[in-house]
Amino acid sequence: MHTSTTVENPQGAMHTGDGDIIIHVGAPAQDSGRRAFRRSFADDQLSRLRRVLVAPGNMGNARAMLADTGSVILDGAPGTGRTSAARVLLREYHHGTGVFHELLPGEQDELALHDPALVESGDQLLLDLSAADETRWAAARAGLPALRKAVHEQHAHLVVVMPHGGHLDPDLQYYRVEIGQPPGLSVLRRHLREHGVPYEQYSRADDVVTEFLHDRRPMREIAHFADLVRRAREAARPEEGFAHWCAAARNAQTDRRSEVGTLVSGLREAPQRALLITVAMLHGAHADIIHRASDLLLSTLGSPPEAALLLQQKDLAERLGEISAGITPSGHVRFKELDYDSAVRAHFWDHMPDLRPHLGRWAARTVDLTDPHLTMAVRDGLVQRLAGQYLRTGRGEGLASLAEGWGSGPPSRTRGEAAVHALTCGLDDPAQGRGFRERIYQWCANRQLKGDFPQVLVQVCADVLASSHPDQALLRLYYLAQRHGDTTRALEALCDLVESSRRLRRRLLDRLARSGPSPADLVVFLHNCDPAPLTEPAGTSRALVQEGGVQQSLSTCWRAVLTGLPRNAWQPHAERWFHHVAANPGDRAELLLDLLVGAAQQCGARRGAVFASLYASARDAERSAPGDPALATGTTALLLSKISAAQALGLTEPSTDSARGPRS
């Protein structure tokens, strides 16, 4: 058994010189049996990247610069693997602290590069400007000194990929490392090894490989060729070896548009063309699925199959022969020529534009089919191939509308998964990813969403967007939790994301306190005010609760909670604060009491009643507090003394040292 990576179109999974490995994987729908993969997906992706990357020239110097200074600016010609090298460099500093974060200056709600809040302790930051124009590069250069300073102070790591040949200020030249292209043969062999091709096969000299590598090839083309070899191997007969696989891969790179056009012009009947399209869209699926989906395409187009006697119809094998396809011994349908399916898809998409909207409806009906052969991989493959045509032709808006339609219709787990996968393909597309991030923002923040589409967006934000753009995921999940309070999934995903980073928790608290918190905001706040992460210091940094900005946010939100919600809504959360203070005596924990009292002090005419409610809640918390009851009693007494001081009653602070223990 060997691993494989499917490359179906230019946006498919490949090792590129200008970007990372892009693996289109459907994100898991809730309760679908798929594992949530936000962290594992990103880690797996980066781990595979490390395995296939052949270190480019000067990689050692780049690694040394990053280790010595915390930042490095990579330069290099397109196709040398600049961004792949950047990701691998950052992966080496992923040790459980901080998060990986791809910086996107200028996008919706992204912090400026000079904003110190952009960096948290141990973060791994990628600023990929390899394709930036001069205006964007100049703006980024202006913010780099401040960004580097924040990275140094937070013991984080930053890799900048600059546009090749771009101007670099003298004070940044020291950090620039130009990488060179690695040997093409080594890159090809590394990919073949990852695909499971035996060493004794690819270690031999081969004329096709020599000819292919004669010209200087970008990394993405070498990766694509290796994947074609892998696919040729899977389709080959036992007696056909490496030379045959390479020849098939070379032939698959030829332009087949004319050949496919000739085939289609000879197929005049609708069932023939429906079968051809179906095989191209479901290439490699079981024959039973091909048969059912072909009939389904005809009915979607308003031309149901003829009700002729079964024994008078051509059998599937004969019909497949008419379109240069066949059935493998395992019962799966493939074209006889490698990568022929890509040419067929492109032909119908380009030359029959009226067919496009029907393909979306047909795909939705197909993924809903019930058949043991219609596996998750087959469904994902169908969605990815359809998405590939939208993206190949620059029709991202059409793909986004298609995904919205799939998720907004009658409840369907498979259609919801298809919508998630379609949006994942859009987000992963190098040319149109930014447009999809903006569309998702508009959906979350401003649009009225129907059906299960909010859940689709929750899944995309939590399990796809958060893996590389956690700040953008945070904002979008916040809006979903705020505007779709009828479900807890957005709130749960938001809380899970905030748990991964102090910086994200700080940003959420700031967002909640920025303007008068709404009732929905208060629900979000109460689920994200866990006292433990607020009082735990990270490395040499202060605890969040010791930061002035965080204190202001907490005070603002608690004041809104104490005045805007009934006691039974906030008491369980206040009790957690009291329990934490009792179990963790010290200045940081005591700040929690100061914040509660300070928030109550701002409640105007109601402050007396609020103080009384806080005291009553502290007394109630004594009964449920774990550990020594005396510590809980001491916490209540300390709270009362702070309330008394706030009300200027002049009461003497009770002696609680014996109950509370020494301060830390």
Tokens 């303007």: give the residue. Answer: 515
How sure is the predictor about 40, in pLDDT bands with cuts at 50, 70 and 90? very low
Residue 161 sits in a domain of what CATH number? Answer: 3.40.50
Q: What are 612-634's pLDDT values in tens digits?
A: 999 999 999 999 988 888 999 99
Q: What are 241-266's pLDDT values in tens digits?
A: 999 999 999 999 988 889 999 999 99
Q: What are phi and psi of 159, to 5 degrees?
A: -120, 125
Q: Which helix (H) or strand (E) holds 483?
A: helix 470-483
Tokens 């695909």: give the residue. Answer: 195
158 & 279 share domain:
no
H-assigned helices in 316-412: 316-322, 340-351, 356-367, 376-392, 396-408
**% of the chain with per-residue pLDDT over 70:** 89
Dist CA 375 CA 412 (whole Å) = 16
Torsion, Cα of 91, 97, 98, 100 (10° steps) = 20
Dist CA 293 CA 514 (whole Å) = 52
Q: Is 120 within the bounds of a domain?
A: yes
pLDDT value at residue 121: 87
89 & 219 share domain:
no
519 & 585 share domain:
yes
- The residue among 350, 367, 384 that closes a domain is 367
135 & 280 share domain:
no
How sure is the predictor about 11, in pLDDT bands with cuts at 50, 70 and 90? very low
Q: Is 556 within the bounds of a domain?
A: yes
Q: What is the mean pLDDT of the chain?
A: 88
226 & 299 share domain:
no
245 & 282 share domain:
no
Domain extent at residue 246? 183-252
3-state helix, strand, coil in the chain (%, to 5): 60, 5, 35
511 & 651 share domain:
yes
Q: Is 221 within the bounds of a domain?
A: yes
211 & 69 share domain:
no
CA atoms within 13 A on the CB side of 649: 12
Q: What are phi and psi of 101, to 5 degrees?
A: -145, 120
Contact (CB, 8 A) for 483 and 457: no
Contact (CB, 8 A) for 70 and 160: no
pLDDT value at residue 602: 93
Q: Is 308 within the bounds of a domain?
A: yes
pLDDT value at residue 332: 95
Contact (CB, 8 A) for 399 and 429: no
R_g over Cα of the chain:
30
Q: Is 480 within the bounds of a domain?
A: no
How sure is the predictor about 25, in pLDDT bands with cuts at 50, 70 and 90? very low
pLDDT value at residue 43: 66
H-assigned helices in 282-351: 287-300, 316-322, 340-351
Distances (CA, A) of 166 to 137, 140, 141, 323: 8, 12, 11, 51
Contact (CB, 8 A) for 359 and 280: no
Q: Is 79 within the bounds of a domain?
A: yes
Residue 333 identity (one-letter amino acid): V
The three-state (H, E, C) secondary structure of 464-478, written as one string: CHHHCCHHHHHHHHH
Q: How buried is 410 (Cβ within 10 angstroms: 0-12 exposed, 13-18 middle, 19+ buried)?
A: exposed
pLDDT value at residue 540: 60
- DSSP secondary structure code for residue 625 in this structure: -
Dist CA 74 CA 9 (whole Å) = 28
**Residue 304 scores a pLDDT above 80:** no
The three-state (H, E, C) secondary structure of 21-36, written as one string: CCCCCCCCCCCCCCCC
pTM over 0.75: yes
Q: Is 153 within the bounds of a domain?
A: yes
527 & 645 share domain:
yes
Q: Are strands 325-327 and 333-335 parallel, antiparallel or unpaired?
A: antiparallel
Q: What is the mean pLDDT of residues 502-529?
A: 92
- The residue among 128, 152, 178 that closes a domain is 178
**Residue 85 scores a pLDDT above 80:** yes
Contact (CB, 8 A) for 477 and 484: no
543 & 651 share domain:
yes
pLDDT value at residue 109: 79
pLDDT value at residue 652: 41
66 & 129 share domain:
yes
Contact (CB, 8 A) for 81 and 217: no
pLDDT value at residue 585: 84
Q: What are 533-584's pLDDT values in tens digits?
A: 999 987 666 899 999 999 999 999 999 999 999 999 999 999 999 999 999 8
Q: Is 259 within the bounds of a domain?
A: no
pLDDT value at residue 284: 94
Contact (CB, 8 A) for 156 and 189: no
206 & 291 share domain:
no
Question: Which residues face 335 on adjacent strands?
Answer: 325
How many domains is the chain partitioned into structurally?
A: 4
- The residue among 139, 157, 178 that closes a domain is 178
